[in-house]
Structure 1
Amino acid sequence: MFQHRTIQIVLDFDGTITAKDTIEPLVQSAIAHIHPSLSPSELSQTPQAEAWSNCKSQYLADLSAHYEKENQEPSDGVAVTGLRKLEREQRSLDALKDVEWASVERVGESGVFKGVSREAFLEMGRAAATAGDPQGGKDRAVVVREDFPEFVRWIWQHNLQWGVVSVNWSWRWVRGVLNAALPELRSYHVMSIKANDADGTKGTIIGYPLHMLNKKRTHILTTADKLFAQKVTLFDFDSGFSSPPLLTVYIGDSPTDLSPLLHADIGIIMNSASSTSGALGVLIDKCGYRVLPVSEYKKLYCKGENEKVAILLSVNNFKEIIDSGMLQDEEWDPTAAKEAWKKAESED
């Protein structure tokens, strides 16, 4: 059955493949690598640790100032919902580019990554997903969702294409974590990772190359950047054939995933462990739409009893995607359903 439809799956990394964001473990691993002989308590007193603390404080201050300014901007008083509201929310998220860029530059100047080799980033990622926290904790510094390896092996079994898009600062760190979770990756499985690159020579955070033959790099910082990286990934997947029909899937957990989620034929929100509604779910509701559990996938892009169209799906784990039967259901055509929804919206 699967040979009848080509399926391309792109996943976010932090908070989607992993249980939590991994930027803090990445930085702490780098500081521990620079000072291998120091104890956890001594590591917290290093110049790099102090600089990192200042970076975080300044980032939060910039973020607060950004939203305060945004909230003070005059409103035209007209309530907007639907596609126009979604577009407005995406522009609002893209406006964080300056805040994120300033943060990247500060981290580069802080020296937290200076002296860390390319190979070390890979090893740090692997160690973080298998060993204890560099700050002295007994638990693993990075926890990969327990059913993620099963999901990837299911992807391999059915010859689907998959890749990762992330705002993480080191694609090698991401690769190291994935190598630990999926030892098979080291030997014969090829996958695409689009994420930033930390240059240990200068300590700066550089973007990812647009193409292996192109030295030009671009940073992934916002939802628009992720969308662009998603499109590049899908282009890399492209076999050049228009048939069999192509189905694109994106799985993410945070507002930076909004544009890629909306671009895919099927956008899936990975819920956090908490019982509270995530930021993405709240945002979608504010725009006048709803999110459905993946088990109700056939209602995607259809109006419910409350007249809200469901435009995204949600899961609590990767196993729910497999168990739903959605990707095996070749009689269901989400691409046509999405086109019909957009056409109906544009005519209203």
Structure 2
Amino acid sequence: MHVVLDFDGTITVDDTIEQLASYAVAFQEAQDAKICSERKGSGQEGEWEARWTGIVEQYLADHRAHKAGYTPSEAARTTLEHELQFLNSLNCVERKSIYRLRDARLFAGMTPEDLYQGGCQAVQRGQDCENQDRKNVVRLRLGFATFLEQVSRQRKWPVSVVSVNWSDAWIRGVLQADDSESKGTAIRVFANKVTASGAIIPNFPRRTAPANHDLEDDDIAPFSTCSDKAEALDEAVAASARSQPEQPAAVVYMGDSMTDVECLMQAGLNKDGGGGGIVMADGDGPVTSKLIQTLVRLGYAVPHVSEAQQFQRPRRADEGDIPRLAWARDFEEILASKILDEPTEATNA
């Protein structure tokens, strides 16, 4: 089994984009202060924070306008095809915002090591129970370390992260992981990355990029939508197959947001069985999760992992094209449910 995880809101308790941006703002302010000190001048306090706030406000306005003007409306979208068309139509909104980040130079001059250390520091602050400043902390979902120990180290399953986050180095810092497989527990990260100029581009070759295109070129389109994420999932599966050809092709995908719809369905519809999709949700999932509500609106059952059948069971003829989906609050619930375990004879009966 190949375990593929979304990052923000799945591995972490909350989305970490605000924390990543706050780290970049602090970095740029420190750089400005250093320059001003050397020149014995004074900088504009709050300038970087204002740039970031403006980007957020413009993004939210664009998103609201796009959603309001899109047809068919949410209530009228009752098929997976309709929903994916809407989700991928947000491409213009997402990329416009990412290009604003590039033009604002919020991440300019930041190295992968800077971003890695920022991720490390954020999750370390999150481990401090007295630290309530959510703007600067990242917390991992309950049971993630134990889950990783079981699936990666004990079961020897490959683990990948697929994320529309802006920085693969930031993700690795939060996970305190790297690209090395020397420890036998490498987590491959398929996400965007920050270039020296502050541009945000994918850290793997896109299908649409010319064969001779330099991956460092700032004009490569970032990936940010549902179908972009599905492309990254395909790349993750292909990379795993190249390094571990003996591993079964089944994938279990875990995600929490609307950008995960296509990946969840792709994993849940594995014709050979053995895979599935798990939605991460807080509280009473069907009530609190927009993603679960959308899947139910499209006609799919999303039981809690404690009530779902095991993913590794053989697919029955009467299942047809019904995707194997479930939801959980955290990784402890997933492990306790045994949904990823091999079924016993009694389970198959």
**Shorter-chain TM-score: which interval?**
0.7 to 0.9
Contact 1:227 1:259 in 2 (8 A): yes
State the match for 1:306 in structure 2. Answer: none
Instruction: Report the Cα distance in structure 2 between the residues aligned to 1:274 and 1:103, rounded to whole angstroms.
Output: 32
Instruction: Report the Cα distance in structure 2 between the residues aligned to 1:118 and 1:280, rounded to whole angstroms.
Output: 32
The match for 1:146 among 138, 142, 145 is: 142
The match for 1:14 among 1, 8, 19 is: 8
The match for 2:233 among 230, 233, 239 is: 230
Instruction: Report the Cα distance in structure 1 between the residues aligned to 2:186 and 2:342, rounded to whole angstroms.
Output: 26
Unaligned runs of 5+ in 2: 34-42, 207-211, 268-274, 317-321
When the two structures are aligned, how many residues end up with a matched partner? 307
The match for 1:261 among 261, 264, 273 is: 264
Give the 3-state SS of the residue equivalent to 1:9 in structure 2.
Answer: strand
State the match for 1:190 in structure 2. Answer: 186
- Alpha-carbon offset, residue 297 of structure 1: 2.3
Q: TM-score, normalised by structure 2?
A: 0.78
The match for 1:93 among 65, 83, 87 is: 87
The match for 2:281 among 267, 271, 274 is: 271
Give the 3-state SS of the residue equivalent to 1:206 in structure 2.
Answer: strand
Q: Which amino acid aligns with 1:108?
A: R
Instruction: Report the Cα distance in structure 1 between the residues aligned to 2:139 and 2:306, rounded to whole angstroms.
Output: 26
Unaligned runs of 5+ in 1: 1-6, 303-308, 333-348
Q: TM-score, normalised by structure 1?
A: 0.78
2:168 pairs with 1:171: yes
Instruction: Report 1:48-67 matches (<5 A).
Output: 48-67=48-67
Change (3 A) 1:112 1:218: closer
Instruction: Report the Cα distance in structure 2 between the residues aligned to 1:176 and 1:44, rounded to whole angstroms.
Output: 30
Change (3 A) 1:74 1:129: closer
Contact 1:113 1:198 in 2 (8 A): yes
Q: Which amino acid aligns with 2:276?
A: I
Identity %: 31
State the match for 2:340 in structure 1. Answer: 327
Per-residue CA shift, 1:35-75, capped at 9, x if unaligned? 2397xxxx99422111111100100010011011115x699
Considering fraction of residues, name the structure with more strand: 1
What's the RMSD between the two structures over aligned residues?
3.5
Give the 3-state SS of the residue equivalent to 2:205 in structure 1.
Answer: strand
- Alpha-carbon offset, residue 286 of structure 1: 1.1
Change (3 A) 1:207 1:44: farther
State the match for 1:103 in structure 2. Answer: 97
Instruction: Report the Cα distance in structure 2 between the residues aligned to 1:322 and 1:230, rounded to whole angstroms.
Output: 23
Contact 2:253 2:264 in 1 (8 A): yes
Change (3 A) 1:95 1:46: same
Change (3 A) 1:35 1:297: same
